[in-house]
Structure 1
Amino acid sequence: MTRNMNDCKWKMKEIHKRTLIGNRLELARSLCLEEILQFLVAKAIISDEVAERIESKRTRFSRNVALLSLIPTRGPRAYEVFIQGLRESQQCNLADMLESYKSQLINTFQAASKKCKTDLEIQHTELQYQQSINNYNVNTDLKLVEKDAHDGPIGRLFVENTTIEFYQQTKHESYKMTSRPRGSALIVCVSRFKSELGISDRLGSDTDRKNLTSLLNQLEFSIVHVDNCTADEMQSAVKEFSKKDKLHDADCVVVILLSHGKGNFLYGSDGGKVRVDTLVQNFDNAHCPALRNKPKIFLIQGCRDDEIASNIAHVVTDGPPLSQDCCEAIDHSLSEANDRRRLPTCSDVVIGFSALPGRTATRNTVHGSWYIQALVKIISKHAKDKDFAEMLTLVNGFLRSKSLEQEVQSDWHETPEFRSSLCKKLYFYPGIFAKSSFRE
């Protein structure tokens, strides 16, 4: 009995270890270290001295690798505490990824264990188990490659670091962007609506959320997630976020809103409406003095059409080079009066919209919205040496050219827009960090 219990404990620890190894690259690229490191110290998984050694590593990637190498050596509690830390630090997508992978390993092991009768058969099954794990990894990678070949940044994103030379050349004409974390980000994702409303769920929006989280983690933003909130909850969440004390130390703030929309409104899960300019106003110089003279980024993914041509929901299908999978049915049952009041004037603000006023935004049910796909791809590629306005212009051009290639009605061509009151260049400077005295 004792031997069986010990074997069981060993197998569970081995499964945890294999889970971390199988997801090591994605964790090294996407993990936001600061908050979870302190969580592990508080839970006595690592000491303050060890945490300091990890933080002393030169790059974000090397710090993440150092932590991931250490966790398997910290005893049977380390994995579960690590998962808990991911959830406490709003990195639930990484926790879900690990737990899903672990479940696959356990199912594979249990299926193989049913055939074990003798010690010799057990050894043989362990070999089969290892081979099945290797095959599982290979098959997963192949599926990701096939899925990425046509549409979207599904899978692994990688943001290249800015060089010291580029930073030195451009820092005097740009906003300060050297704090760690770089700043704070809020992602509000409404993908499901009350069934009695008759509003279609936003399939593919979870992919947008995942890709944006990976990108912002690599840009060193701390992230707050709010999912499937009502209109009132959306307003409260944005207002509460604008009042956070940590904004005093942030070099930049990002607010991303993903939902159904019409005109200047976004919809909560209850069908309630929220004005976009009302949300933005929480961050102006009067309401949020902590962000004066600091860049404030708002990204809005939602339709902006004003007129209702009919009560029939139109279905848009993707054409090459985007995925052949069916796009969302654009919901035209949301009736709202035309409201064209302009957004309030704020300094140091840039607002990116997924569509022009009066037009719809397109979303793929598997790979996410066209706008977020393009945005994440371009920022991950060019953040090292292009300012944000340049990257938004590239997004506009990319989607305009891709829309023209689609074999669909011209009414469904998607052209984003952005509005800016930025006073300087806005570079993210990935990989560049400094103490308060670093920049004059």
Structure 2
Amino acid sequence: MEDADRRALQLNRTFLVKNIANPDDVADGLFTFEIFTEGMKDEVEVEKIKEKKMRKLLDILPRRGPQAFKLFLKVLMDTHNDHVVKQLTSGSSTTYTPPYHQQDEEEDLPQTWPDPTSLEGKLTVKLCSSHNTRFQNGRYYKMGRNPRGRVLVINNKIFFGPLEEDESGKRRVTLATREGTEQDERKIFEVFEQMNFIVDVYNDKKGEDIKDILRQEVKKDFHRTADCFVLVIMTHGTSGSIYGTDGKTVSIEEIKKQFNGENFPAMADKPKVLLIQACRGDERDEGVRESTHINQEIKKAEEMVKDLTLNSETDSHTEIVTPTMSHMVVATASTLGMVSFRNKMYGSWFLQAVAFIFARYSYKDDILQMLTKVNELVSRGRAKDSSQKKEFVAISEFSSTLSKSLYFCPGLVSEEIQQNRIQQASS
């Protein structure tokens, strides 16, 4: 190891000990790249306290040859310690370039959302440039089949319940038609289809119909040979539940339970992604004012397009804590108790952001990195009340019980699948 790299480890030792949360994963990564021997990896893992694990790792690392520091940075990136890489490389001659990704400059995310220039027309998914051997080890979910898996979409637009009496005693439907939801359906379909998923759409389903669709889904033999499953729900919602078109509710806890390892054995150890476009309450967030510079940039962007905020409405009509499910990511359009917004022309802030981000970044980012970008994009949305006196914001959120990194790897087919195809063609 070069003196400069050894010194960077020494000067940042306390920072590394405190800020690397998963030393066992880092040691395993170094073992994978043959920087650590199995005995060295065991020396780290046998320690009971995280800080002692890191000290042991840092005692061994400087003695492991000229490539040790560079591969250490690579492993840190793989194990979601990007902030540590920045700390180690800032102000030094050492620079780190991710070795597996296409090298291109990322454009800034749109300053306002929804952004017509970003959403008009078809989204094109960026493809991985070549097969990547890093996805063959145990720290990544397998993602090389074609098709990858199924995307089940439930899209409720027109509701006929529940009913309530207005001031004149006339009974009317409480839940409004969800204008613009067809745009969400279209974008989700085109993006996931390009990522080698089979997309199946169900429109305008009652509460019991939704439950039955989910029960039937987990029984499909298709999932036994699939890599991943995705559920997308577009409907009205309340705290802890989503609405069927008849006004009957289905709890989010019940939906998650349907896809746990016990009820969905074919996908027990495979990744499951749930994307829910629905309000989780009826509160609206007026937000806090950003810096003057940021506000000026937002105003400039707003002046370039029509004021779309007048066409934004909520999917609200208040969430209980649910048990965690393994190998599952759940992303929702809003935080607990808050409304989500949907633009009548362009679709929901959340699912449009999902489609936009997945199309642009799935070739190089894992799902947690992409959903963080989705949160940022949704937070840039603005909705105004009818009097134009108040401006509301929203933020999406996600939770994860994944135990490995989930990359969609669009365009890639695993070597195992390629070999099977060759054998089938020659037989």
Q: Fold match, TM over 0.5?
A: yes
- Matches of 2:375 and 2:121 in 1, distance apart? 23
Taking the TM superposition and a 5 Å limit, the aligned residue runs for 1:54-73 are: none
2:180–2:344 CA contact under 8 A, matched in 1 = yes
2:182 corresponds in structure 1 to 206
2:130 corresponds in structure 1 to 164
Taking the TM superposition and a 5 Å limit, the aligned residue runs for 1:15-414 are: 150=116, 153-164=119-130, 167-172=132-137, 173-194=139-160, 196-305=172-281, 324-325=307-308, 326-330=310-314, 334=317, 338=318, 340-403=319-382, 409=390, 412-414=392-394
Distance 1:415 1:408, change over 3 A: farther
1:98 corresponds in structure 2 to none
Question: Which secondary structure does the structure 2 equivalent of 1:266 belong to?
Answer: strand
1:434 corresponds in structure 2 to 414
2:284–2:338 CA contact under 8 A, matched in 1 = no
Structure 2 residue runs of 5 or longer lacking an equivalent are: 1-113, 162-171, 286-300, 420-427
Amino acid of the residue matched to residue 133 of structure 2? Q
Question: Which secondary structure does the structure 1 equivalent of 2:311 belong to?
Answer: strand
* Residues 228-275 of structure 1: CA deviation (Å, up to 9, x unaligned): 000110111111112111010110000000001111111111111110
1:202–1:328 CA contact under 8 A, matched in 2 = no
Distance 1:365 1:240, change over 3 A: same
Structure 1 residue runs of 5 or longer lacking an equivalent are: 1-147, 310-317
Shift of 1:369: 0.5
Shift of 1:282: 1.0
Distance 1:396 1:323, change over 3 A: farther
Distance 1:215 1:372, change over 3 A: same
- Matches of 1:228 and 1:151 in 2, distance apart? 30
Shift of 1:403: 4.5
* Residues 349-406 of structure 1: CA deviation (Å, up to 9, x unaligned): 0000010101111110010001111111111000100000000001111222444999
- Matches of 1:213 and 1:416 in 2, distance apart? 21
Distance 1:295 1:200, change over 3 A: same
Question: Which secondary structure does the structure 2 equivalent of 1:164 belong to?
Answer: coil
Match of 2:404 among 424, 436, 439: 424
* Residues 22-51 of structure 1: CA deviation (Å, up to 9, x unaligned): xxxxxxxxxxxxxxxxxxxxxxxxxxxxxx
1:94 corresponds in structure 2 to none
Shift of 1:216: 0.9
Amino acid of the residue matched to residue 332 of structure 2? F
Amino acid of the residue matched to residue 160 of structure 1? K
Question: Which secondary structure does the structure 1 equivalent of 2:116 belong to?
Answer: coil
The structure whose residues are more often helix, as a share, is 1
Shift of 1:409: 3.5
- Matches of 1:182 and 1:418 in 2, distance apart? 22
1:200–1:329 CA contact under 8 A, matched in 2 = no
Task: Report the number of matched residues.
Answer: 277
- Matches of 1:206 and 1:429 in 2, distance apart? 27
Amino acid of the residue matched to residue 273 of structure 1? T
- Matches of 2:140 and 2:306 in 1, distance apart? 38
Amino acid of the residue matched to residue 152 of structure 2? L
Amino acid of the residue matched to residue 416 of structure 1? S
- Matches of 2:251 and 2:154 in 1, distance apart? 14
Shift of 1:206: 0.4
Question: Which secondary structure does the structure 2 equivalent of 1:180 belong to?
Answer: coil
- Matches of 2:367 and 2:351 in 1, distance apart? 15
- Matches of 2:417 and 2:264 in 1, distance apart? 25
1:153–1:376 CA contact under 8 A, matched in 2 = no
Distance 1:414 1:182, change over 3 A: same
Shift of 1:200: 0.8
2:380–2:393 CA contact under 8 A, matched in 1 = no
- Matches of 2:176 and 2:221 in 1, distance apart? 37
TM value normalised by structure 1:
0.58
Amino acid of the residue matched to residue 323 of structure 2? P
1:251–1:295 CA contact under 8 A, matched in 2 = yes
